[in-house]
A and B are shown apart, each in its own frame.
Chain A
């Protein structure tokens, strides 16, 4: 068996993100501040916002095929709000509770990405 020459190969010393100087941040864990580096993924963390139940959002991306309500309409729980096609399925969005529609943001044929506010209760 040949003796491996792997010792000469240094493959672990590069960096994907080349930083000229380490730029430290301070990170608080259990009330203690630590001096440390950040990561790209940590910087990309999005801030959490509490959900607003009055906003009806698309839970998957799709295309609006029917809008069942107009601005100012009053709806009862279970009334059809809209239908949209997504992932080859026709999804029916029903009123989660009764109330008045303050605004409709979409019309038939609109393509909506995930998380779009489609309509809003008063």
Chain B
């Protein structure tokens, strides 16, 4: 056979495989408002940059009539490409082929591209859209999941791992995304749960829809499993592309440097924070008043919004911002917000991204449910993560910094490299009301007018201790600054921290309060 005919044959074979599960299945996928696996990869990557591998892979199942079934590419697309020129490895489950179910060869394709990503030290993006384990392939399918989880763990902290949930992702399958760095969900499309509505109905007698049980909103707002929420697949891809611009290819490189841009003038830094510590404001405006071009890329925006985390740039370099949010629940620390910030700190530390922390919090959320949910253990994660992080760590105390909350929010004592305080900062063992009631209990009780005495004592305490100068006198903060100086000082602090050395005792690893 001449080569030309062989080329024609190759083209024919490819054409057939690229149809995935066929017209009918594709029409069904479209009816659900979903793109196909290859459409997704192409939409996500730079134009003409995608190269697909293993498209001729076939399954080896021989039971339950599987021997006669042809599953194109075994229900998953793998390959490499670029995003804004940065190389990435990608896999995308193809729901049109046997419901994207995971059989042995399907799993081998995924682990192949994972191995490739790890070897080449490039980010891995996994698009999940699968009915779960391929039951006909039995324990081989389970083995496949195990191999994926192992590689997720191995690659964790070495290369960025991104999971995109664009369909069902149920049972054991959810644990691969859960092991990765960032999970993206899309409204009405993403569904994640361990046990589905049917099992719950049979076992518990409780009825709930898939959307209410494990839809995008649930994971973006209630569970915190998702980091980014979008209303459409295209919006989701834009979010992923944007994320890629902030993070390095791997843990030995630095994130890409951009041209420095001043913050936008509408974020006037001196007009954002009210003087009265009881009044709310949106701390994201402070971040936008400091970040390059006022660009702040928020992570987990809807979950535990009492703490704000996300990426931005200062003088062209990526930094991780962490800030208490007085607008929501007064910015308290609680189970979820501690968990959220602690994980983000570990991400930044693993990928050499300096952290800038803005502090304004009244303390911890009081409540029986908080105590019983383990606020001790979860709160400890934050202390652990800040103490452990060896990347440059800057703190700006905007207003309140009381008690345990002050310590937890990257204080000097946990080895912040620089701690700046605004003149309105109140660094104290607790809020003036609480402190006065304890210290002056006797005087207040014995006074003729206890209420008047209480107010007077609160005022006294405020004047004496609700300021940054007591902490500054001990060197716990480095200096008190005008809000307008913040950006300039942070730029300088980051510049002088470039070669930071952080000596630690040798250990295999610590035992964080997981």
Contacts and interface: CB of A to CB of B under 8 A. Distances in A.
Q: Do A and B bind each other?
A: yes
Interface stretch (A4-12, A66-74, A100-108): A4-12
B204 A32 contact: no
A2 interface: yes
Interface string A88-122: 00000000000000000000000101100000000
Chain B contact residues: helix, strand, loop or mixed: mixed
A14 B231 contact: yes
A28 B279 CA distance: 13
How many B residues are at the interface, by size bracket?
Answer: 35 or more
A21 interface: no
Contact of A11 (B220, B230, B305): B230
B239 interface: yes
B279 A35 contact: yes
Contact of B280 (A14, A24, A114): A24
Contact of A6 (B242, B277, B296, B302): B242
A7 B292 CA distance: 11
Interface residues of A, number: 39
Given A9-B242, A61-B205, A33 B278 contact: yes
Interface in A1-60: 1-2, 4, 6-7, 9, 11-12, 14-17, 24, 27-42, 44-46, 48
B203 A4 contact: no
A37 B328 contact: yes
A36 B327 contact: yes
A30 B330 contact: no
Given A7-B295, A35-B279, A36-B330, A30 B430 contact: yes
B337 to A, nearest CB: 10
Contact of B329 (A27, A30, A44, A61): A27
A1 B85 contact: yes
A14 B298 CA distance: 11
A102 B141 CA distance: 52
Contacts, number: 120
A39 B305 contact: yes
Chain A contact residues: helix, strand, loop or mixed: loop
Nearest to A61: B204
A46 B336 CA distance: 16
B217 A29 contact: no
Nearest to B330: A34
B305 A46 contact: no
A90 B369 CA distance: 31
Interface in B309-334: 310, 326-332
Interface centre among B46, B235, B330, B430 (most CB of A within 10 A): B330
B434 interface: yes
A7 B293 contact: yes
A16 B218 CA distance: 10
Nearest to B332: A29
Nearest to A2: B85
Given A4-B245, A30-B430, A30-B431, A114 B278 contact: no
Contacts of A32: 277-278, 362, 431-434
B293 A16 contact: no
A37 B279 CA distance: 11
B297 A12 contact: yes
A62 to B, nearest CB: 8
A48 B366 CA distance: 13
B369 A48 contact: yes
A15 B282 CA distance: 14
A2 B295 contact: no
Interface centre among A12, A15, A29, A111 (most CB of B within 10 A): A29
A111 to B, nearest CB: 6
B276 to A, nearest CB: 9
A24 B205 CA distance: 37
Contact of B221 (A1, A34, A41): A41
Given A48-B368, A48-B372, A34 B280 contact: yes
Given A2-B85, A6-B242, A48-B368, A37 B301 contact: no
Contacts of A39: 304-306, 328-329
A51 to B, nearest CB: 12
Nearest to B367: A45
Nearest to B372: A48
A1 B367 CA distance: 53
A9 B238 contact: yes
A35 B430 CA distance: 18
A40 B221 contact: yes
Interface string B476-513: 00000000000000000000000000000000000000
15 contacts: A9-B242, A15-B302, A17-B302, A24-B280, A30-B430, A31-B434, A31-B437, A32-B277, A32-B431, A34-B278, A34-B362, A35-B280, A39-B329, A41-B336, A111-B205
